Structure 1
């Protein structure tokens, strides 16, 4: 926008008496930038001290210290409030406090001395650090005016900070004005603080207080000064447009409340004048009406809402319940979503905006979009899946995608939009996916009777997500290193066949002593032990490593493997097929192109494979979209994938989670959407979508079967990799249990072969009547190379 256009816009805003048009423009800009989501921050309010050196004439938060009155909350009291919020599902600890009370009150100085601190800021840093380190809450600090050096002091203890600019009117600090006698409310001091936050690299919240005697021109001036500071430093994440309400026992108790018309006008003006990426907020508990009028004016955020503590700044105004807030939001076609105290675009650049000591907590509190992790469900654990309310209306952008002809190739942006679905949009995506599933597979839900045999957990690679492999960097992970001898390996293969198995799935670590001959020998032993079994074996990484170790091309090596008994490949080692992410989680592993090179060679020889994704760690929905599109385009050319298997990241024992470098897995919503969106993207290209009961749990798998999935995967008999990462599921899900689950949702169970062929009645009956498994023996790793000629 050039200077002339800017002046024209300001002139039109200033002259707007009928603000309906202004608000419509504001909403259009809001919707273009933020879509159908309206956010809020679930928080607890921690009033560290209500003592303040300022005497704002409308404030009931700051109170003069009386004789015998405590000046500060004790550390134990701070932690108790924080823990109550933690139990209630909050993610933010909002520290509010008066400005520098030690400069005014002897009692404050004495209290600080007793606590062992020189200043209020020193004590704030200490207790915020306790909350950071001893709870899952993210501190947001509102200590008032600060210098750049003071911001730097507090930055390691805060995910974000804030200070209301309130006004740039010098008049209001003169005698008789609301800020008279309050040196920290001088506009220049507060503008300096706003700039200092940017200079210190702090994600910052600021805002205006409407109705304390300022004019429209002065409000516009304040908005433009916020804009100018943000253009210099890029640090303003949200602007609050708060309406003044008079309070008893203040000098301004007889002053009229802010005119609702002026409040809405200011919201619309701020939306139109501020940069597109700044969120606009108005407190719902202070709304003159239901709050819907604030959405009409252009806000996209409700601010902090607490299920635990009152609004200590406005104690007379209770928070609306989250159900009520959700209903108000839905009344305007929007969907309510929780966020963190730091906004997603700042989290994407965490190195700039977060101190290293804050990054782990923020990452673990976030979902893939950088909003708040919802619920307590995580993959592989026992927590019950949450219920997602069908609030709001279907996002028009999502409805447009769902209305496309089935099988249309979506672009990256459209797929990302589907992954962002919440509320009613989430249910619309899942229902659409389920209809596509019905059109392809009818009421049939498939499963396969298989045994996983992980023949070694010794690995030369150090993938950041893997809790299974054992090597120099993984010595502390669960379980000892092992390398099966061939007798035990053959026994497990034979036992799988005797128990009705139609498939064995073979995968292991990249053992330093293994070569291509080792993999060939494994196949020969397996084929001898059970001639009729389907051998589903070796990840693309193992294929790549095996071929290189004996100097063969991929096609040459795969041909030998096929001759030795290889029947199909698991499409694992894919993780995220986007090298931007692979460089972070597995930098020494095969690249995306190399993974597809293996698949192209295998599919060219007539070997089928599965395809997978492992998601919920450091990647974003755009990386999911790239992964799905790359698989789709390969399948259109080579037709080798039998199914797609979403594998949610199990974080508990994973190295990168333990080091604080990853999220805690996908949210429930994200995990279900991965199945639904995959069905939509792959319609007509990959017919089968499998859900992992090991990672989703039986209840989670049931929901996925209603959201586009048609396959329950394998009975497994044994599973080591996911359980090593901390999952509680994974030993065996017997055929009769699978069939009971499938029938419970009104579907027809179908036992299948690995490549979706029929299974003989003899195999079915044997599987249904399988004897208990014999005890397994994992041969301890001695550090010696496996003898390739060793036979069972």
Structure 2
């Protein structure tokens, strides 16, 4: 059995994929967490950050039909919707006035009827109504889909979205960066190579990005390690990834659950191991590793803050995607700060770009 000191030294030297897979498969979760926590304090200090944000899903119409998604509705479905730019701007403006949010997190489905003018109008409407709001969205998956529908290059799509007011990209759509897994869970989405290409194009245009990983479905340890390795290589090349966010798969109301391929949520031990190995592999490459409380729950999030995570993403007001799968709820700055203080860390409200605003 490996000691915490052994694991910590391996991480300091640059954890290889083979070592990471061995640790993930064989090492005790609490010992792995302990090593990751020590590394977090070394490379990032004792603060835990989060942003005050509101989530707007501009549409739930999607033609991808992914087996992991409970949120989407096919075109023409009675529950399908597309928000007008004015409605989205109103939600953000009201959230700013009532809760003081500083970020709009905006994503949706793959709706082939939407043109780029829709997104330009949407972002400009938000910026006009709430000039101080940072817009984080779209995902690389959306950029790829719409670039094909609109017959535009990634660069043209991203440049026009940036000019309309998009400040950063959210990290969704990465799922697991392995084609074997992607063919099973998202067969009609783009491939892993395209996700990485969109990220690179965004960085070349000065658009910072985030990266996610969806775990706890049909993947194996080797797929998790491969995904994190790809993110590490991307960050070493471009230095523009703001946060790495492991997202636990919530199976309820999804096709994977209906088909019996996933019986229920992954055990808490996997949450701990995934967060820990993310920190140990990424070390100081990406200082902020997030505990995504909307998928693991607030109680587990507090454990993950002692397992390598040092970010709670945000208040996530109005979140709908995970809510559709039976998880997720809004929070407040005070609630998140309380979670942080309970584990002996310092809560810091940040902005979209990882800049500290104030300690709570």
State the TM-score bracket (shorter-chain normalisation).
over 0.9
What is the match of residue 71 of structure 2?
A: 468
How many angstroms apart in 1 are the aligned matches of 2:311 and 2:137?
A: 20
How many angstroms apart in 1 are the aligned matches of 2:341 and 2:66?
A: 39
Q: 1:490 to 1:506 in 2, by over 3 A?
A: same
Conserved 8 A contact 1:516-1:547: no
What displacement does 1:547 show?
2.3
Conserved 8 A contact 2:86-2:125: no
How many angstroms apart in 1 are the aligned matches of 2:12 and 2:158?
A: 35
Equivalent of residue 579 in structure 1, options 179, 185, 194: 179
How many angstroms apart in 2 are the aligned matches of 1:681 and 1:571?
A: 18
| Higher share of residues assigned helix | 2
The DSSP-based 3-state class of the residue aligned with 2:48 is strand
What is the match of residue 495 of structure 1?
A: 94
The DSSP-based 3-state class of the residue aligned with 2:10 is coil
Residues 34-73 of structure 1 mapped to structure 2, 5 A cutoff? none
What is the match of residue 215 of structure 2?
A: 615
The DSSP-based 3-state class of the residue aligned with 1:446 is strand
What is the match of residue 747 of structure 1?
A: 345
How many angstroms apart in 1 are the aligned matches of 2:332 and 2:286?
A: 27
Q: Which stretches in structure 2 are left out of the alignment for 5+ residues?
A: none
The DSSP-based 3-state class of the residue aligned with 2:356 is coil
Q: Aligned Cα RMSD in Å? A: 1.9
The DSSP-based 3-state class of the residue aligned with 1:759 is strand
What is the match of residue 19 of structure 2?
A: 414
How many angstroms apart in 1 are the aligned matches of 2:31 and 2:107?
A: 38
Residues 593-608 of structure 1 mapped to structure 2, 5 A cutoff? 593-608=193-208
Q: 1:522 to 1:760 in 2, by over 3 A?
A: farther
Equivalent of residue 684 in structure 1, options 277, 284, 295: 284
Does the alignment pair 1:404 with 2:10? yes
Q: What's the CA shift string for 1:431-455, capped at 9, x where partnerless? A: 1100111112221110100000011
Q: 1:628 to 1:523 in 2, by over 3 A?
A: same
Q: What's the CA shift string for 1:31-66, capped at 9, x where partnerless? A: xxxxxxxxxxxxxxxxxxxxxxxxxxxxxxxxxxxx
How many angstroms apart in 2 are the aligned matches of 1:560 and 1:484?
A: 20
Q: 1:760 to 1:497 in 2, by over 3 A?
A: farther
What displacement does 1:403 show?
3.3
What is the match of residue 112 of structure 1?
A: none
Conserved 8 A contact 1:397-1:417: no
Residues 288-687 of structure 1 mapped to structure 2, 5 A cutoff? 395-396=1-2, 400-404=6-10, 406-411=12-17, 413-421=18-26, 425-471=28-74, 480-498=79-97, 499-687=99-287
The answer to which of 576-585 and 655-664 deviates more is 655-664
How many angstroms apart in 2 are the aligned matches of 1:706 and 1:421?
A: 20
Higher gyration radius (CA): 1
The DSSP-based 3-state class of the residue aligned with 1:520 is helix
How many angstroms apart in 2 are the aligned matches of 1:725 and 1:635?
A: 31
Runs of 4+ in 1 over 3 A off after TM superposition: 396-403
What displacement does 1:516 show?
2.3
What displacement does 1:400 show?
4.5
May I ask how many residue pairs the two structures share in their alignment?
Answer: 359
The DSSP-based 3-state class of the residue aligned with 2:177 is coil
Residues 269-284 of structure 1 mapped to structure 2, 5 A cutoff? none
How many angstroms apart in 1 are the aligned matches of 2:226 and 2:85?
A: 41
The DSSP-based 3-state class of the residue aligned with 1:645 is strand
The DSSP-based 3-state class of the residue aligned with 1:567 is strand
TM-score w.r.t. the length of structure 2 is: 0.95
Greater RCO structure (CA 8 Å; 6+ sep): 2
Residues 125-144 of structure 1 mapped to structure 2, 5 A cutoff? none
Residues 227-266 of structure 1 mapped to structure 2, 5 A cutoff? none
The DSSP-based 3-state class of the residue aligned with 1:420 is helix
Q: What's the CA shift string for 1:261-280, capped at 9, x where partnerless? A: xxxxxxxxxxxxxxxxxxxx
TM-score w.r.t. the length of structure 1 is: 0.44
What displacement does 1:718 show?
1.0
Conserved 8 A contact 1:451-1:718: yes
What displacement does 1:398 show?
8.1
Q: 1:760 to 1:680 in 2, by over 3 A?
A: closer
What displacement does 1:399 show?
6.7
How many angstroms apart in 2 are the aligned matches of 1:405 and 1:623?
A: 19
Conserved 8 A contact 2:349-2:358: no
What displacement does 1:539 show?
0.9
